[in-house]
A = this chain, B = another copy of it.
Amino acid sequence: MVTMRDVADRAGVSIATVSFLLNDTKPVTAATRARVEQAMAELGYRRNAVARALASRRTHIIAMAYPALEHRFGMSTAEFFTSAAEAARKEAYHLVLWPVGNDGVELRELLGQGLVDGVVLMEVQLDDPRVDVLRETGTPFALIGRTTELEGLSHVDIDFDTTVRDAVGHLYDLGHRELVLVSGDLADPRFHAYGPWVRTEDAYRRIAAEYGLPIVVMPCSDTTQAGQEAADRLIQEHPKTTAILVLNEYAALGVISGLTRLGRDVPGELSVLPLLMVPETAALSNPELTIMRTPGPELGQLGTDALIRQLEGADPLPPQLVPAKLYPGATVAAPRAPRSKGGGGRRGERKARS
């Protein structure tokens, strides 16, 4: 790493002069300024003198890094954020939100200023350049999410396997045999390595196969409109479907409004079960959605606690996976006419809604 001394040597000035210039604490002549700035440019010196001077001080501020300009900041995100902010407050830390991109460039710029004691990383990619930035800069951090390589990384995440298994099992027990997963759109370059989408789709394919179910997965962007279009397509291409699992929250709202606009009776003709949603969003739908409830409050707190334990030198929080749990609504019921006679015949439960 290039130091202030390197810059001073190259420019032929004292370290103090470099410091005066960087910190604007004493006037420096234009000629000297030019020389120092040239030396900095040639050496690739980053203007982080202040950061290093500050490195020993604790700010008691932690940042949540969330790519708000690439990923939608929806109601689930808000839950992670506010629960993390509350958890930080309880431990006498401030949590702030950094809407920095997923490529790590802006994250590196902000870290260079020495503003925070550590970072909670959201929307983790399987191979995440931000993790490299955090390691290189020696910043303490915790993941809400998982990279592929997890060794030594403090992390908490949704338990996608259990979530999908519980959702499929619930529908299967009600008698459903023709399921469709409306998944994320992994062809979208912003999301091709986005952990939650990859892991959910993998889990679904595996678990549906275990249940002996036909595997139908429809990619879908996370917008209401894309969800409505998926509903259209689904009705045309997979008319025997009796239950739909939807990965994303806005897509799910689109699927349900699309189905009702098409005159389909939910849950009479089709059950709809979002895999990751918050009750507030579920209540926006008519009928109110039955959901797998995103464990945002738990994970926002656990991720923040994991980081603060590092900062305080406490015993590390072991990695934790928390499943989404079934949360009752009015869009899941037994199929009107079960497709399979074997195993699905709990007809006494036909009217049961969850």
Contact = CB atoms under 8 A, between A and B. Distances in A.
Contacts of A96: 63, 96-99, 110
A97 B100 CA distance: 11
Q: Which of A58, A61, A69, A99 is packed against the most chain B CB atoms within 10 Å? A: A99
A260 B261 CA distance: 13
Given A96-B99, A99-B95, A253 B284 contact: yes
A229 B154 CA distance: 44
Contacts of A250: 280, 284
A73 B69 contact: no
Interface residues on A, range: 35 or more
Interface stretch (A29-37, A75-83, A173-181): A75-83
Contact of A284 (B25, B50, B73, B224): B224
Contact of A286 (B25, B94, B286): B286
Interface string A104-130: 001001100101000000000000000
B283 A284 contact: no
Nearest to A225: B283
A115 to B, nearest CB: 5
A54 interface: yes
Contacts of A58: 24
Interface in A49-65: 50, 54, 56-59, 61, 63
Nearest to A56: B24
A236 B78 CA distance: 35
A242 interface: no
A147 interface: no
Contact of A99 (B97, B106, B261): B97
Contacts of A24: 56-58
22 contacts: A23-B57, A50-B54, A61-B113, A63-B96, A68-B81, A69-B82, A69-B85, A73-B73, A73-B81, A74-B75, A74-B78, A75-B75, A82-B99, A94-B109, A96-B97, A96-B98, A223-B280, A224-B283, A224-B284, A257-B284, A257-B286, A286-B286
Interface of A: 23-25, 50, 54, 56-59, 61, 63, 68-69, 72-75, 78, 81-82, 85-86, 89, 94-100, 106, 109-110, 113, 115, 223-225, 250, 253-254, 257, 260-261, 280, 283-286
